[in-house]
Amino acid sequence: MVLERPQPAESSPLQLREIPEPTPGPGEIRVRVRVCGVCHTDLHIVQGELPMHKLPVVPGHQVVGRVDAVGPGAKGFKEGDRAGGIWLHSTDGSCEYCGRGQENLCLNAKFTGYDVNGGYAEAVIVPADFAYPIPPKFSDENAAPLLCAGVIGYRSLRLSGASQSDRLGLYGFGASAHIVLQIARHMGCEVYVFTRAPAHRELATKLGSAWVGDAKEQPPHELDAAIVFAPAGPIVLDALRALRKGGTVSLAGITMSPIPEMDYSLIYGERMVRSVANSTRQDARELLELAAEVPVRTAVTLYPLEDANRALVDMKHSRIEGAGVLRS
Ligand SMILES: [Zn+2]
Ligand SMILES: [Zn+2]
């Protein structure tokens, strides 16, 4: 499915096209795609809410499939192996951020389905160093949402500083939050979910949230940490109002509407707000290991690849319980 010109998802911007089969170069593998998860970032790209890097482009960065070609010198995978590809497609390995161990901030990072073609396709090229074996415990479709919703959610959870027996707030409850809830509970956190969509409330309750309410509501206890998944700036202030002194609000999204002006008292008391940008390979490895240990159960709604536009519209209107996944 190819994006030639960004438009609102409702006007079906993705078109089914035949494109030449990609060939893996040095250090790369080709993955025959079985499934690809649908992420909010895909929606932002398709609708032109992020600066465009490449057009036309094939979106999709939660790819699970089988390796069917191995480029010269590519290590760690052979034909027939199951492999996953994520948002971080490659880094330069040489900039100041890579040098600091912050490859998620690499100045020359390339992203799957944005700078290079992604997984809304039959085949995708992934550098072997940026591909991941999928734990056997997970089916293809249940693994797909782990690769971005899970990985970014995990990094957001880490950066929120939440630890055992903390009260954690999740603002918005889509693909990422439903995975984070399970990991946070496994860590011993009590989880408070703020969402309006009935399907999301139901799933949060089923997965063991301690409380479910609206973003504007004050939860019964102050929160030690919070993660904002919804791309709506005013919610950052809602989260700060619910947060204890010294707590952190981490922002999981790649974009967000403006954060309204706020009174200093909302952040005084050493409350912190921090964004989360991309992920490192270490985040991805840790998340996959942890997800298998929990074990995380992902809720997925499957769509045929050619229905990618419909999947994006359903996600846009919070009609998917858990994660949307395209089957090639
Ligand atoms: Zn770099
Ligand atoms: Zn994503």
- pLDDT, tens digit, for every residue of 42-73? 999 999 999 999 999 999 999 999 999 999 99
Note the pTM of the prediction, 2 decimals. Answer: 0.96
Q: Give the closest ligand to the alpha carbon of residue 108.
A: 1
- pLDDT category, 6, cuts 50, 70, 90? very high
Burial 289-307 (b: 16+ CB within 10 A, else e): ebbbeeebebbbbebebeb
Distance (Å) from CA 148 to ligand 2 centroid = 5
Distance (Å) from CA 184 to ligand 1 centroid = 31
Q: Is residue 318 over pLDDT 90?
A: no
Mean pLDDT (the chain) is: 97
In this structure, of 100-104, 198-202, 305-309, the range with the lowest mean pLDDT score is 198-202
Distance (Å) from CA 284 to ligand 1 centroid = 17
- pLDDT, tens digit, for every residue of 178-192? 999 999 999 999 999
Distance (Å) from CA 97 to ligand 1 centroid = 5
User: Mapped to the 3 state alphabet, what secondary structure does 228-291 carry?
Assistant: ECCCCCHHHHHHHHHEEEEEEEEECCCCCCCCCCCCHHHCCCCCEEEECCCCCHHHHHHHHHHH
Distance (Å) from CA 49 to ligand 1 centroid = 25
Q: Give the closest ligand to the alpha carbon of residue 100.
A: 1
Q: Give the closest ligand to the alpha carbon of residue 324.
A: 2
- pLDDT, tens digit, for every residue of 206-248? 999 999 999 999 999 999 999 999 999 999 999 999 999 999 9
